[in-house]
Amino acid sequence: GRVIVEKLRKALPKDKVEIIALGTNAMAAALMLKAGANDAASGENAIVYNAGRVDVIVGTVAVLIAHSMLGEYTPAMAEAVAKSPARKILLHLNRSNVEIVGVVAEPLPHLIDMLVERVKTVMAAGCPGQG
């Protein structure tokens, strides 16, 4: 999360894009805040509360999978993200025994760069919601 926030903050205009970092725990949220997020919160309620209030959700595919992240990610968190009308731009990391066929295996730094470019494209189009 920290690296994604750092790269998004550098790539997106600070005066036009607010980054809200949501972590499963306080340490993750604090690291993302330090990396340049405008605000940060942690835990199940923070994710459930905010998932439906943002334009874009970024992270790994694990944010759609209950009990991922070594069990830290709850079913309520996964459901809130899945039901959110926000555009979801996700990295395909195979850490939850979920494999996505048809994607090219790349090192994580390359995947993060691709994610940032996609977010920039979506934001420039002015239509971050579903589409």
Nearest alpha carbon to residue 90 among 127, 52, 63: 63
List C-alpha distances in Å: 11 to 17, 113, 116, 118: 10, 10, 7, 11
Residue 82 Ramachandran class (φ > 0 left, ψ -120 to 50 alpha, else beta): alpha
Residue type, position 117, single letter: E
Domain layout of the chain by residue ranges: 2-123
pTM: 0.89
**Which has more confidence, 98 or 10?**
10
Judged against a pLDDT cut of 70, whether residue 127 lies above it is answered with: no
Predicted confidence (pLDDT) per residue in 117-126, tens digit: 999 999 888 8
Nearest alpha carbon to residue 125 among 56, 79, 76, 66: 56
Banded pLDDT at 94 (limits 50, 70, 90): confident
